[in-house]
Amino acid sequence: MNKVIFWDFHNTLAYKHNFFISCIIMVLDKYQKGHTVTHESLYPYMQTGFPWLEPDKEYHHLKDPQKWWDTLYPVFINALTSNGIDKDKALLYTKEAHKIMTGPDYYTLFDDTFETLKRAKINGYRNIILSNHIPELPQMAKQLGVMDYIDICISSANIGYEKPNRKIYEYAVEAADNPDTVWMVGDSYDADYLGATAAGIKAILVRNPVDEKVEFYSDDIKGALDIILSSI
């Protein structure tokens, strides 16, 4: 029997120490001492332009990694220039921030990640990452060592759909060879829980309690796997 668990990545399998804005400020701290740019001054300019903010759209034209970043660079550059940074320097700082965002130290795995993925495999489940993320996610997952337990790593940036768009779930199910049993585990109520259930996939919300009623919830992914295994 083909059994699959789709795992979200960010805030499900791993957490990041710095958000995009923090990475920009880290670069400014290094290259432009005495700058007055803050998280608060950048934030208003970072609320548009990211594909996952408009999941109803399709982004097939951005499946090439460089094209994906080419559409994001102007967002960062505009945020910086709007804060008084020279345009040429803004481009340089954006490229440096990009390096931080895709580096091996950007994410840390949760304590239960390896144990849970390994136990899922032992119990006959194929693990597949299904995440709204940047093009470099497969390489980042490999750097973190999780690809030893993952069959496929699907990043929205590489396929042109964002969760909760039903088409990303249809794509993932097909990529998984139409499994007999499939679950989605993730921390986003809208993208992971509602998106998956709308596509006919059982879903477990993790690490992020919400006021809305959900059928399955766990404080961690170890507990989520317990739910899956007990449902057999």
Residues 138 and 85 in one domain: no
Exposed e or buried b for every residue in 45-64, given b needs 16+ CB within 10 A?
bbeebebbeebeeebeebee
Is residue 144 located within the same domain as residue 211?
yes
**Gap between the Cα atoms of 196 and 183, Å rounded:** 8
Which three-class secondary structure state does DSSP give residue 2? Answer: coil
Mean pLDDT of 166-174: 98
Q: What is the pLDDT of residue 18?
A: 62
Q: Report the percent of the chain where pLDDT is more than 70.
A: 99
Do 62 and 172 lie in one domain? The reply is: no
For 80-116, write each residue's pLDDT tens digit. Answer: 999 999 999 999 999 999 999 988 788 999 999 999 9
- My answer on whether 52 and 138 are in the same domain is no
Residues 118, 196, single domain; the answer is yes
Task: Assign 232 a pLDDT band (cuts: 50, 70, 90).
Answer: low
User: Across the strands, what pairs with 153?
Assistant: 129
Pairing of strands 14-16, 107-109: antiparallel
Mean pLDDT computed over every residue of the chain:
95
* pLDDT recorded at residue 131: 98
Name the DSSP class of 57.
Answer: S
Element (H, E) at 138: helix 137-144
Is the domain of 82 the same as that of 115? no
Assign residue 164 the CATH number of its domain: 3.40.50.1000
Condensed to tens digits (0 to 9), the pLDDT of residues 136-147 reads: 999 999 999 999
| Residues 120-137, mean pLDDT to the nearest whole number | 97
Are 134 and 194 members of one domain?
Answer: yes
Rounded mean pLDDT of 215-231? 97
pLDDT at 19 over 80: no
Rounded to the nearest angstrom, the gap between the alpha carbon of residue 149 and the centroid of all alpha carbons in its chain is 18
Task: Choose the final residue of a domain: 41, 68, 101.
Answer: 101
DSSP strands (E only) in the chain? 3-7, 14-16, 107-109, 125-131, 152-155, 181-186, 202-206, 217-218
Q: Same domain for 93 and 196? A: no
- Considering the domain architecture, whether residues 159 and 79 belong to the same structural domain is answered as no
Of 10, 179, 28, 143, give the one whose Cα is nearest residue 94: 28
Shared domain for 97 and 130, answered yes or no, is: no
For residues 73 and 115, state if they share a domain.
no
Domain that holds residue 69: 18-101
Number of domains, the chain:
2
pLDDT, average across residues 36-64: 94
Domain end call among 51, 86, 101 = 101
